[in-house]
Structure 1
Amino acid sequence: MHKNTSKKGFTLVEIMIVVVIIGLLAAMAIPAFQKVRQDSRESAVTNDARQLASAAQQYMLENNATTVAVTYNSTTGTIAAPLDVYVRKIGTGYALSSSLGIDSTFTIGHPQMDTDGNGSTVLTFTAEGQVE
């Protein structure tokens, strides 16, 4: 009696070729994904800096002041008085300058942000909120 057996399936070489192709695609996609994440973090920090600078400028204009203290809760992202009237919340996890001045710079840092590829996690901004 002769059995009719079918030999359908993939050979080991075919499976290895597919695995290599998937590895190559992953090797190209992961750095691109990390770059997008980094750019997104940097954009969020820049936007938050603009909001904070704008709030400080408005406060100083209305109160005839040259500096304003910044009280920030890094866990919740909330801003306390006196700037809470102008901006209530920004991103979480930042390390901020403790005050903002009319003509001085300020810094915002985040541990997951490497702005220049050398491990620096802090950006410096002008009083208007522009990256310096």
Structure 2
Amino acid sequence: MIARLNDALRSKRSDLENDQKGFTLVELLVVVLIIGILAAIAIPFFLNQRQGAWESQVKSDIANAVIAAETHAVSANGSFEALDDTALTDNGYKATPGVVLTIDSASATQYTFTVEHDLYDTRHWTYDSETGVTDFTDD
């Protein structure tokens, strides 16, 4: 009886030693290939998302600057002549880090802004209060 138990245990051990589990080289190469394809698709998508975020920051800053400029005009009897960076800041405009807003012109009845993002080298946005339109140009 003990001999039969020893034989059974011996056969189980030999089955475990021969039944090794793991991945083959081909399976590992297929996984690496799939990960590479996914990365090739995801990286450009991620970069486009970053540019879209930069554009959103610029558009948000333009909208906030317009509100601050109009608020300034209300307190200046409807005139934009004294519009400058300090007037915008005093009326609630706070620039997003990396966004640079420049007041190109300010007259009694209209003003224009040029806005750039530090990380978006090729595109500049211009807002004209007379038309209310934001245009962009690529360098």
TM range (shorter): 0.7 to 0.9
Q: Which residue of 2 aligns with 1:124?
A: 126
Question: Per the alignment, in what secondary structure is the counterpart of residue 8 of structure 1?
Answer: coil
Structure possessing the higher radius of gyration over alpha carbons: 2
Question: Per the alignment, in what secondary structure is the counterpart of residue 82 of structure 1?
Answer: helix
- Following superposition of structure 1 onto structure 2, how do residues 1-132 of structure 1 map, counting pairs within 5 Å? 4=14, 5=17, 6-64=19-77, 65-67=79-81, 68-70=83-85, 81-98=86-103, 101=106, 102-113=109-120, 119-127=121-129, 130-132=133-135
- Residue 121 of structure 1 and its aligned partner are, at CA, apart by 3.6
What is the alpha-carbon distance in structure 2 between the residues aligned to residue 88 and residue 49 of structure 1?
A: 10
TM superposition score normalised by structure 1: 0.73
Which blocks of at least 5 consecutive residues in structure 2 are unaligned? 1-9
What is the alpha-carbon distance in structure 1 between the residues aligned to residue 70 and residue 104 of structure 2?
A: 12
- Residue 124 of structure 1 and its aligned partner are, at CA, apart by 1.5
TM superposition score normalised by structure 2: 0.70
Give the aligned residue type for 1:108. Answer: V
What is the alpha-carbon distance in structure 2 between the residues aligned to residue 9 and residue 84 of structure 1?
A: 64
- Residue 103 of structure 1 and its aligned partner are, at CA, apart by 2.5
Which one has a larger percent helix, Structure 1 or Structure 2? 2
- Residue 60 of structure 1 and its aligned partner are, at CA, apart by 2.1
Alignment CA distance shift 1:100-1:57 (3 Å):
farther
Which blocks of at least 5 consecutive residues in structure 1 are unaligned? 71-80, 114-118
- Residue 130 of structure 1 and its aligned partner are, at CA, apart by 3.7
Give the aligned residue type for 1:122. Answer: H
- Residue 100 of structure 1 and its aligned partner are, at CA, apart by 5.1
Question: Per the alignment, in what secondary structure is the counterpart of residue 122 of structure 2?
Answer: coil
CA RMSD in angstroms, aligned pairs only = 2.4
Which one has a larger percent strand, Structure 1 or Structure 2? 2
Taking every aligned residue pair, what percent have the same amino acid on both sides? 33
